[in-house]
């Protein structure tokens, strides 16, 4: 009873504001629906058209590469960062706050700074290569299909790492020091303590942060939209940007919705996995 009293207001709120859009989105994807015109029901025709669209499959691969690479880097880096930050050192709070900066600054604006940092005419790497006479203009960070994907992943990691760091740090702080003391008395090495004390206790937080990070990275939009808008030749198009281009630019709301909803099955799997993992253990 107590549980229900607590749960009902937020659930109602979400249902009201998200329920209708979700149904609307699903409905759209089943329609041939030009912008500003009435739609006609076409069943799964949009999804069939997507399946035959080579760009759609390229976008699918891009999105997976982007998500997997960025998530692994953020998870490993974030854990390392949290462990490093969990030590006692001077200017701890200042550094912890500075560490958050990439996450704080509005993405659209920080990405504009990256436009310069990744421009071969101004990028520091290229500047040194050029002035040492090694290469001119040097690597094209956004013009080369592979480098462009790599650059986007780096910017994503840059932006996302602080959040992993701070969240896992908070997780580390909830681990009672007594546990470490006990382990030390038992003769455990630093590595043992990490494996047998830190990791198991941190697991729920790592799991949740990673899963949500996967969801957000998978559906990433702003970063790509500012830096490359999917270029060169679709090499960096993701589901969200492609769906947006087709729906907004092309005025094909139905097809855009079908591309966006193609994200649903993989994301749903992740969420089901989370739900199973997080089943309550205490009564």
Partner 1 sequence: MANIIRAASRRDVLKISALTSVGGMLGAARANAAPKSMTMMHESSFIPAYDAFFKNTMAPAYEKATGIKIVYETVSVGSLQTRVTTVAETRSGPDLSMLVFNWAFLFDEKLVDVSDLAASIGKKGGGWHDAAAEAVVVNGKWKAIPFGNIGQLMNYRMDWFNEAGVKDFPDTWDGLLEAGIKLKKAGHPFGFELGHGFGDNHGWLYPLLWSYGGRETEPDGKTIAIDSAETARAIDFCREFFQKTMFEDVLGWTDVSNNKAFLSEQISCTNNAESILYIAKRDFPEIGKVTGQAQNPKGPGGKRFHMLNPLTHGIFSHTPDVQAAKDFLSWVMDPKQAGPWYDIAVSYYAPYLHMFDDAPFWHVEPRNLPYRDSLTTSHLPGWPAPISRAQSESVAKYVVVDMFAKACAGKSTKVVIADAAAQLKQIFKPG
Partner 2 sequence: MMVERGGWRVRGLRLWLPLGAYMIFTLFPFYWMAVTSLKPNNELYNRKIMPLIVYHPTLKHYADLLSETNFLVWTWNTFLVAAVSTTISLVFGTMLAYPLARMRFAGSALISFGVASTYLVPQPLLFIPLADIITSLGLNDTLTSVILTYPTLLIPFCAWLLMGYFRSVPGELEDAARIDGATRLQTMFKVFLPLCTPGFISAGIFAFTLAQNEFLYALIFLTQTDVRTVPVGAIAELVKGDVFYWGQLMAAALLGSVPVAIIYSFFVEHYVAGLTAGAVKQ
Contact predicate 242/262, CB 8 Å: no
* Interaction pattern, residues 177-196, with partner 1; x per rule: CB under 8 A: --------------------
Element (H, E) at 158: helix 145-173
Per CB under 8 A, the segment of 1-9, 51-59, 67-75, 138-146 that binds partner 2 is 1-9
Q: How far is CA 196 from CA 24, 110, 166, in A?
A: 48, 39, 22
Pick the binder of partner 1 from 135, 190, 249, 264 (CB under 8 A).
249
Q: Which of 184, 188, 232, 251 binds partner 2 (CB under 8 A)?
A: 184
Where do we find the tokens 């855009």? 256
Q: How far is the CB of 269 from partner 1 (least distance, A)?
A: 28
Report if residue 195 touches partner 2, rule: CB under 8 A. Answer: no
Contact between 269 and partner 2 (CB under 8 A)? no
Tell me the C-alpha distance between 33 and 271, whole Å. Answer: 30
Please list every residue from 36 through 75 that binds partner 2, using CB under 8 A: none
Among partner 1, partner 2, none, partner that 148 touches (CB below 5 to 8 angstroms by kind): partner 1
Q: Which of 40, 44, 76, 84 binds partner 2 (CB under 8 A)?
A: 84
Give per-residue burial for 105-139: e unless 16+ CB within 10 Å, then b: eebeebbeebeeebebeebeebeebbeeeeeeebb
Say which entry of partner 1, partner 2, none residue 228 contacts (CB below 5 to 8 A, set by partner kind). partner 1
Binding mask 137-176 for partner 2 (x = CB under 8 A): ---------------------x--xxx--xx--xx-xxxx
35 binds partner 1 (CB under 8 A): yes
Phi first, then psi, for residue 32 (nearest 5°) are -90, 105
Interaction of residue 116 with partner 2, rule CB under 8 A: yes
Residue 108 lies near partner 2 (rule: CB under 8 A): yes
* 252 binds, options partner 2, partner 1, none, Cβ within 5 to 8 A by partner type: partner 1
Q: 53 vs 245, which CB is nearer to partner 2?
A: 245
3 state DSSP class of 152: helix
Q: Compute the distance between CA of residue 167 and CA of residue 159 in angstroms, rounded to an integer.
A: 14
3-class secondary structure, 63: helix
Give the one residue of 51, 72, 105, 195 binding partner 2; rule: CB under 8 A: 105
Residues 208-247 binding partner 1 (CB under 8 A) are 227-234, 245-246
Burial group, residue 247, by CB count within 10 angstroms (0-12, 13-18, 19+): buried
Pick what 37 binds: partner 1, partner 2, none; C-beta below 5 to 8 Å, kind-dependent. partner 1
- Those residues whose C-beta lies under 8 Å from the C-beta of residue 262, and which sit 6 or more positions away, are 47, 50, 56, 60, 239
User: In sequence order, what are the beta bridge partners of 40?
Assistant: 32
- Candidates 215, 204, 231; CA nearest to 70 is 215
Instruction: Answer yes or no whether residue 132 interacts with partner 2 by CB under 8 A.
Output: no
**Interface size with partner 2, residues (CB under 8 A):** 108
Q: Does the footprint of partner 2 cover residue 196 (CB under 8 A)?
A: no
């Amino acid at each position: 009873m107590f549980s229900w009293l607590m749960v009902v207001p937020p659930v109602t709120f979400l249902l009201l504001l998200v329920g209708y859009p979700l149904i609307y989105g699903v409905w759209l994807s089943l329609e041939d629906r030009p912008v500003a015109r009435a739609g006609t029901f076409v069943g799964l025709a949009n999804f069939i058209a997507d399946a035959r669209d080579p760009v759609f499959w390229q976008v699918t691969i891009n999105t997976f590469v982007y998500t997997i690479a960025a998530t692994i880097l953020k998870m490993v880096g974030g854990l390392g960062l949290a462990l490093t930050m969990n030590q006692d050192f001077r200017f701890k709070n200042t550094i912890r706050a500075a560490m958050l900066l990439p996450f704080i600054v509005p993405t659209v604006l920080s990405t504009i700074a990256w436009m310069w940092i990744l421009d071969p005419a101004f990028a520091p790497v290229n500047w040194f290569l050029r002035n040492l006479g090694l290469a001119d203009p040097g690597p094209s960070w956004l013009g080369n299909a592979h480098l462009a994907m790599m650059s986007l992943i780096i910017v994503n990691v840059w932006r996302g790492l602080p959040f992993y760091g701070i969240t896992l740090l908070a997780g580390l702080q909830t681990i009672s020091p007594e546990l470490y003391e006990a382990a030390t008395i038992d003769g455990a090495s630093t590595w043992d303590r990490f494996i047998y004390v830190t990791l198991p206790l941190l697991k729920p937080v790592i799991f949740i942060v990673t899963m949500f990070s996967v969801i957000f990275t998978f559906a990433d939009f702003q970063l790509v939209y500012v830096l490359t808008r999917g270029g060169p030749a679709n090499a960096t198009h993701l589901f969200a940007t492609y769906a947006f281009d087709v729906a907004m630019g092309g005025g094909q709301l139905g097809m855009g919705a079908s591309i966006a909803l193609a994200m649903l099955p993989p994301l749903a799997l992740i969420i089901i996995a989370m739900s199973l993992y997080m089943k309550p253990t205490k009564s």
